[in-house]
Amino acid sequence: MPSLFSKIVSGEIPAVKIYEDDHTLAFLDIAPASRGHTLVIPKDEYADLYAMPPELLADVSTTVQKVALALRDTLAPDGMNIVQNNGSAAGQTVFHYHVHVIPRWEGDGVFGAWRTQQPGQDELRALAEQLRAIL
């Protein structure tokens, strides 16, 4: 069964589209965190970052930059967040890879600073060793 966003790609569900090319589509979020909040997706359906072919990630990133530049030039925000959620624990609700482009204004309160941890150097080094072994 096609995802909600595949139905937007096919036109079965309407969306306010702002850009498309052969592989990607950008449309305004229906419940924006701020004015101009846009979603960029691959037209083909992949659930999340882990499933994305690297070439398609590059295509999506190129479109994200185009959209960010257009939002910057149109709305003159103070900043821009690029957000991408994977898995429900990370806030993903639509399981078709997508990147949020969210214009920000000073004091808008859209996101706060996240809580931080204080790992020791030994812990950081041990984790890095595990990761380097895979990478």
Catalytic positions, please? 98
Residue 47: other Cβ atoms inside 10 A = 15
Per DSSP, the chain holds a count of helices (H) and strands (E) of 3, 5
Rounded to a whole number of angstroms, the minimum distance from the CB of residue 88 to ligand 5GP is 9
15 is an interface residue for ligand 5GP by CB under 6 A? yes
Interacting residues of 113 by C-beta distance below 8 A, sequence separation 6+: none
Given the rule CB under 6 A, which of 18-26, 42-50, 89-97, 113-121 is the region that contacts ligand 5GP? Answer: 89-97
Pick from 49, 52, 94, 110: which binds ligand 5GP (CB under 6 A)? Answer: 94
58 is an interface residue for ligand 5GP by CB under 6 A? no
Q: How is residue 115 annotated by DSSP?
A: P
Rounded to a whole number of angstroms, the minimum distance from the CB of residue 61 to ligand 5GP is 17
Q: Tell me, what amino acid is at 60? A: V
Q: Tell me, what amino acid is at 134? A: I
91 is an interface residue for ligand 5GP by CB under 6 A? yes
